[in-house]
């Protein structure tokens, strides 16, 4: 991905029944072919790397889940289904977002939380993430 003109990071937490679920390491990375998708992870920290060769492309959470090959929509998180007894909620920077979580646009230094569990369950939803200082972000001016 050297030469990327747009390189930024978002962070995602997944919480199921009150317990954190790790995001896959090396999502979008093929070590055998030595290539990376524009959306990828390097470890299970939840940091999403967005590296692009154009400044105008937008990226969504749905694209990341498609890369991961995990189902995500307004009622599904992988094999889990929101059925009234259990609910799926999405948050961006601590604020609940309604509708299809696939449409959430990935933006620099954003904290996304997907929370699945019993309706009414109280979960401490993160609103920020302390990103490492050495991520080497490149954001277009303007």
* Model pLDDT, residue 57: 87
* Model pLDDT, residue 53: 83
Question: What are the beta bridge partners of residue 47?
Answer: 11
Low-confidence stretches of the chain (pLDDT beneath 70): 1-3, 140-142
* Model pLDDT, residue 46: 96
* Model pLDDT, residue 137: 76
DSSP assignment letter at 122: -
* Model pLDDT, residue 6: 85
Overall pTM surpassing 0.85 (yes/no): yes
Q: What angle do CA 101, 104, 120 make, to 5 degrees?
A: 40
């Amino acid at each position: 991905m050297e030469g990327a003109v747009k390189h930024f990071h978002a962070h995602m937490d997944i919480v199921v029944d009150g317990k954190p679920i790790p995001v896959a390491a090396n999502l979008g990375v093929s070590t055998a072919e030595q290539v990376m998708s524009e959306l990828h992870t390097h470890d299970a920290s939840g940091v999403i790397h967005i590296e692009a060769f154009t400044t105008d492309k937008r990226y969504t959470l749905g694209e990341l889940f498609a890369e991961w090959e995990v189902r995500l929509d307004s009622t599904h998180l992988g094999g889990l289904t929101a059925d009234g007894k259990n609910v799926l909620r999405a948050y961006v920077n601590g604020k609940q977002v309604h509708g299809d979580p696939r449409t959430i646009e990935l933006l620099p230094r954003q904290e996304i939380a997907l929370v699945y569990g019993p309706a009414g369950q109280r979960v401490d939803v993160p609103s920020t993430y302390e990103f490492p200082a050495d991520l080497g972000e490149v954001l277009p001016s303007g």
